[in-house]
Structure 1
């Protein structure tokens, strides 16, 4: 599960223009000041504006960046001519890094590999990586890194309930990362654990990497390093099981590892090395001077809820943390309107944590949390107004 020869930098989306720790790392990995970076705003709906923002951020960090005019939404550009332009292809091949913007990942795949056939432009991009260069991408540009990708699976609950169609919810990616590691983006912000788990199960893959917004994962060989303002989650189904008699998605024994900025992880050995500021090891379940309030997560797919639940598992008095994923008001086209999913995080062998400020710190690393997900029957509607007695 390694990038092919060079370095792959997977950015979870919503990367701020002033997030220089990420922009600078791209430039440094590409060779430092003067590094040539080819910027592909292919996925963007406004490629001129988005491309210019990316070029400005990279140049602020010392790169020589240029927009490659290969995007379906670029005005007054012959897309097919640009894809086949020998001079443009040569400039890409001579670059030390390639950057893919956010937007819609299907635009990247459909443009650079139409009908599953690699273009000369894509071959040039692959050559940059094979030559030891850098491939970086944010949001949609991150999604295309793995061999398979989410194409248009915006509804986490629909995927949990079995909506998984080739060419719609999922598709082939560009495969800059070898083997079976599924990449997801906007991960904690948008609760995408709800789609990554069933996707891995349906693909028959064991490992997934979910990168949060304004964070990036630098991949070289089997080594991962998290940088930026948030973190990433590794999902491992290698020891997980499911019950085929249940009529909806379920899993028992998934393993989750949360990595924050500065943390490193080796995919080959499974070993996590926390950032230097987090060398204080946390004993899960040890008595705390002020234990956190235990919380049942009524929306486990809500913004940041998974990270908060992992923190509670590490610091709280109970060895289990529960949460629910459901719709209070089912949509008309929901095929299973009365089905939700209970998430159960639990302590078990291999769970360990590190924090920068001791127990209760939000700046933590959690390795090896166990997760079970089971379908549950909901009341429909889930709630009704509580009516009081009429006033006398």
Structure 2
């Protein structure tokens, strides 16, 4: 390389090295909110009443009604009138009606609905990853008119896109869709997600807790833990919990999230797996999940000190154990519990674990 070529090369290198490095950070996690029923959620004139054994979960423009049996996810959208055309629009299997009910002796009008095969609204796409159930590419969805008081100026029609893992495209889906009613004008205290998001109404006064503030907020967990005796299944693994013990687990219809088994004041946290754990030897019905320890890891974390931020003032934080069961990371169950004298509780639970099949009646699987 000649002297004339070397100088420009050094100059370019200096520019590259001196240029500030811009880290690509993941987008921040949006705030999520949850509240328990009874309450009523409204979108325009469409409403859905939550029962006492249910919760509503809000993330961005998506709201979900959740109970142990099923969940219903919904997000508003505007569609052109052509969407109602059976062959030219994103309609499948024709148009039907939902929401008709009788107020006194006068039947109200019903809302038009249809099977929707189009895309999610752009406003909801980035939030769907935080509420994915029912919003998969091949999942069945429906659109219901919301009877907006003032129609969009461009002639678009206000709709609510409704999804659920329970939908299969059959007439049975209408039983869930019929929970939506055209009666919001007659509801005295409708919770409107758009008003909360715009700050027109305070989340706290509406009875909502934020996920950042409450680890057991309504959008993830039922209001009370399960009391023993019972049985819990998580990712192909199950265990019995007895009288005097408790289990804090997510809504069964979510089928994901951390669970907490509590005994003698000790909490054992169970996380994962993403995919169900399976026996190393499918033909060995007596195989124990702990037999996969040699394919994963067991880690001891020592105490990080006395007092805040790790423990109350004057109290030393406990060390902890992390037990990872499973060969593959996606099908691995992580079990974390305190060390020391409390450690025996966690190891006792590990001995209780057993493999379970998807149709094991002890698991009480939701109808999906």
What is the TM-score when the length of structure 2 is the normalising length? 0.26
> Which has the greater radius of gyration?
2
Which structure carries more strand by proportion? 2
Which structure carries more helix by proportion? 1
